[in-house]
């Protein structure tokens, strides 16, 4: 069982018999008052989104679902297609199910697909992916402060903040759990 | 390995933070407050049902410097302030850190109304004007700030009365989920007169003992400060501590040793008013940051 202190974005819970994933999480508490754990949950079967607030002392059943090693193949009009490397069985995940994770998929990447029966309902990405910067404003001469940042777009269309020394064409590592820039990749 | 950019990029906010902290010090020193430092590792905190201390050996990290500062008042110190770290176990969110910076100040011979004036003057000193822009929203800081009693706030914004919420154990929930989001966005709010049961260390209002002389300062929907006219009745304080302790133990929470020296010295404490203000949230407000993570160098997750 999970307690309130385990709640965080990405945690999967069984609620009323269905697996749910926490898609947004915040802790709030009046200074002297009771803690509230505010979650936006997605029903992983129906896709329904809803808000729920929990209080300290409540407990939760983990959603234990089968995860299968799969390879990402391609995207087409049906969605994002993955293949089980042992059985060659294919599974399609919708754009909605993937959310921002769709930006971190690279052809032939190995991922864990969360299964509910024969249906793929979620994905676990590697913690870091390498993606190439396709658009970013040039470095401004004289800008030497190490902490300066600017927006950049990578090959999958994802936009994030990067240090000002990152140029177009640079391969960068992104933390898929936070969506943030981690480091440049030496090539 | 390239330099840690996640840290490096925080420099502008941390520079702003340093200027804010320096300006806070100047604000109090100019008014002849004495800046003090009290130990952060202590044998006992004030027992509060909803605040969990972090153990440190046989002792605890402070959840607030309140008891030590009141012992100084009892020893005859005048106006005092302190900027220190406080720890509250399990508190982590976009406006919460388990270790955070607190500003506390105390004024003997005053009640909580004087602290409302202080809050107004402090913000004026820190902004050099009577307005502030936070998240594209302009906030008018001109004095006096609106005072709203908890009862008024419930009748304006909540789906129940204060009494109903207390009976159902939903008081804090209604404040957080219904009232906070609906407080005026363009003005600070001083939310005052909390129910007596919600103020373990505050004096009750002599003309209406069902409420305590306590207020919370909200700006942009964010709880910034908590203040009261301090309770100096040793017997009553001791009973309230015991009742909080009973609540904690009944809920299966860790019990705390009694704050004996504080209680023994409390009869010497003059009537006073005291307030705690979260520095990290104040920096968020003054630098336009949406998350507390942006205003400190290291979150616990980055250590």
Helix (H, G, I), strand (E, B), or coil: what is residue B57?
coil
Find out whether B53 and B60 touch, Cβ atoms under 8 Å. yes
Is residue B273 in some structural domain?
yes
What per-residue string of b and e applies to A108-129 under the rule 16 or more CB within 10 Å gives b? eeebbbbbeeeebbbbebeeeb
**Among B38, B192, B187, residue whose Cα is nearest residue B116:** B192
Same domain, A142 and A118: no
pLDDT tens digits for A43-93? 988 889 999 999 988 999 998 888 999 999 999 999 999 999 889 999 999
Closest CA to B291 of B101, B95, B13: B95
Nearest to A27 among B1, B11, B96 (CB): B96
- For residue B54, what are the CA distances in angstroms to B43, B47, B60, B90? 12, 13, 6, 9
Q: How long is chain A?
A: 187
The reported pLDDT for the residue numbered A144 is 59
Domain range for A31: 2-62
Is residue A47 domain-shared with residue A85, that is, in the same domain? no
Res A72: pLDDT: 96
Residue B31's pLDDT is what? 98
Q: How many CA atoms lie within 13 A of A26 on its CB side?
A: 11
A121: its two tokens: 């309902």
Same domain, A119 and A137: no
Residue B208 resides in a domain: no
Domain finish residue from A77, A100, A124: A124
Which DSSP state fits A177?
A: T
Token pair belonging to B21: 């902290």
- The answer to whether B150 and B192 are in contact (CB under 8 A) is yes
Burial of B240 (0-12, 13-18, 19+ CB in 10 A): buried
Mean pLDDT of A21-36: 91
CATH number of the domain residue A34 falls in: 2.30.30.30
Same domain, A88 and A57: no
- The helix or strand, by DSSP H or E, that contains position B11, with its residue range, turns out to be helix B11-30
Contact assessment for residue B66 and residue B201, using Cβ atoms and an 8 Å cutoff: yes
A151 and A108 within one domain? no
Tell me which chain A residues have a C-beta less than 8 angstroms from the C-beta of B198.
32-33
Predicted pLDDT at A64? 80
Chain CA centroid to CA B109, Å: 20
Collect all residues of chain A within an 8 Å Cβ-Cβ radius of residue B93: 26-29
Tokens of A3: 């307690």
How many structural domains are present in chain A?
3
User: Alpha-carbon torsion B109, B115, B116, B117, what sign?
Assistant: positive
Residues of chain A positioned with their CB less than 8 A from the CB of B199: 32
Q: What are phi and psi of B7, to 5 degrees?
A: -80, -45
Structure tokens at B1: 């390995």
> For residue B3, how many other CB atoms are within 10 A of its CB?
11
Residue A145: the pLDDT is 61
Last residue of a domain, which of A124, A154, A172? Answer: A124
Q: What's the complex ipTM?
A: 0.86
pLDDT-flagged residues of chain B (< 50): none
Which B residues in the span 143-172 are in contact with A, Cβ-Cβ below 8 Å? 171-172
Under DSSP, is residue A117 helix (H, G, I), strand (E, B) or coil?
A: coil
Q: Which residues from chain A sit within 8 angstroms of residue B175, using beta carbons?
A: 30, 33
Q: Are residues A86 and A133 in the same domain?
A: no
Helix (H, G, I), strand (E, B) or coil at B165: helix
Closest residue in chain B to residue A147, using alpha carbons only? B9
Check pLDDT > 80 for residue A147.
Answer: no
pLDDT attached to residue B4:
86
- Where helices occur in B141-291 by DSSP H, the ranges are 150-157, 162-167, 171-174, 234-250, 260-265, 279-287
- Residue A70 sits in the same domain as residue A99: yes
* Distant-in-sequence, close-in-space partners of B30: CB < 8 Å, separation ≥ 6: none
In chain B, how many domains are there? Answer: 1
| Same domain assignment for residues A52 and A10 | yes
pLDDT digit string, tens, across residues A109-138? 999 999 988 888 889 999 999 999 999 988
Closest Cβ–Cβ partner in A27, A33, A163 for B93: A27
Q: Answer whether B245's CB lies under 8 Å from B253's CB.
A: no
Q: Are A73 and A82 in contact (CB under 8 A)?
A: yes
- B275 burial (CB, 10 Å; 0-12 / 13-18 / 19+) is buried
First to last CA, chain B: 17
Q: Using the beta-carbon criterion (under 8 Å), do B3 and A146 form an inter-chain contact?
A: yes
**Contact list, A180 vs chain B (CB under 8 Å):** 6
- Give the mutation candidate from A22, A31, A186 for the B interface (greatest B CB count, under 10 A): A31
- Interchain pair B50, A149: CB under 8 A: no
Q: How far apart are CA B92 and CA B299, in angstroms?
A: 10
Sequence-separated (6 or more) residues with CB below 8 Å from residue B277: B102, B103, B104, B119, B217, B224, B225
Is B101 part of a structural domain of the chain?
yes
**pLDDT by residue (tens digit) across B218-241?**
999 999 999 999 999 999 999 999
CATH code of residue B39:
3.30.930.10
Task: Say what the pTM is.
Answer: 0.91
Contact A5 B6 (CB under 8 A): no
Burial of B221 from C-beta contacts in 10 A (0-12 / 13-18 / 19+): middle
Q: How many residues does chain B have?
A: 303
Q: Which domain holds residue B53?
A: 5-144+238-302
Map residue A35 onto helix, strand or coil: coil
Do A132 and A145 lie in one domain? The reply is yes
Check if the beta carbon of residue A151 is closer than 8 Å to that of residue A164. Answer: no
Residue B192 lies in a domain: no
Look over chain A and give the mean of its residue pLDDT values, rounded to a whole number. 90
Residue with tokens 């010090």: B25
């Amino acid at each position: 069982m999970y307690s309130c202190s385990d709640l965080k974005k990405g945690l999967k819970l069984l609620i009323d018999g269905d697996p749910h994933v926490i898609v947004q999480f915040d802790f709030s508490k009046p200074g002297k008052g009771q803690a509230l754990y505010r979650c936006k949950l997605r029903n992983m079967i129906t896709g329904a989104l809803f808000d729920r607030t929990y209080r300290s002392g409540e407990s939760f059943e983990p959603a234990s679902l089968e995860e299968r090693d799969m390879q990402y193949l391609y995207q087409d009009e049906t969605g994002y297609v993955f293949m089980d490397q042992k059985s060659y069985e294919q599974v399609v995940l919708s754009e909605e199910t993937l959310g921002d994770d769709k930006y971190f998929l690279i052809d032939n990447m190995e991922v864990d697909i969360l299964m509910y029966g024969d249906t793929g309902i979620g994905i676990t990405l590697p913690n870091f992916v390498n993606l190439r910067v396709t658009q970013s404003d040039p470095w401004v001469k004289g800008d030497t402060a190490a902490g300066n940042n600017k927006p950049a777009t990578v090959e999958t269309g994802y936009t994030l903040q990067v240090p000002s020394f990152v140029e177009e064409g640079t391969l960068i590592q992104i933390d898929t759990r936070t969506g943030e820039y981690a480091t440049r990749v030496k090539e | 390995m390239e330099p840690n950019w996640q840290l490096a990029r925080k420099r502008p906010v941390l520079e702003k933070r340093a200027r804010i902290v320096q300006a806070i010090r100047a604000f109090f020193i100019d008014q002849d407050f004495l800046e003090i430092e009290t130990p952060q590792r202590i044998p006992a905190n004030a027992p509060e049902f909803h605040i969990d201390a972090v153990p440190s050996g046989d002792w605890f990290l402070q959840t607030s410097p309140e008891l030590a500062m009141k012992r100084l008042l009892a020893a005859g110190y005048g106006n005092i302030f302190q900027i220190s770290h406080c720890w509250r176990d399990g508190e982590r969110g976009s406006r919460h850190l388990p270790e955070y910076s607190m500003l506390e100040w105390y004024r003997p011979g005053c009640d909580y109304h004087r602290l409302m004036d202080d809050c107004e003057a402090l913000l004026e000193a820190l902004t050099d004007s009577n307005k502030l822009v936070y998240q594209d929203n302009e906030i008018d800081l001109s004095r006096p700030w609106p005072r709203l009693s908890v009862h008024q706030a419930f009748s304006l914004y909540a789906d129940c009365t204060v009494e109903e919420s207390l009976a159902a154990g939903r008081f804090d929930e209604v404040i957080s989920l219904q009232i906070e989001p609906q407080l005026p966005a363009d003005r600070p709010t001083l939310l005052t007169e909390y129910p007596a049961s919600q103020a373990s260390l505050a004096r009750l209002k002599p003309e209406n003992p069902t409420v305590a002389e306590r207020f919370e300062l909200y700006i942009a929907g964010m709880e910034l400060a908590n203040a009261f006219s301090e309770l100096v009745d040793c017997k009553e304080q001791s009973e309230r501590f015991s009742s909080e302790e009973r609540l904690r133990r009944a809920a299966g929470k860790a019990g705390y040793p009694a704050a004996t020296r504080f209680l023994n010295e409390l009869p010497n404490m003059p009537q006073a008013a005291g307030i705690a203000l979260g520095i990290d949230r104040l920096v968020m407000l003054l630098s336009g940051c949406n998350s507390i993570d942006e205003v400190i160098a290291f979150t616990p997750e980055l250590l």
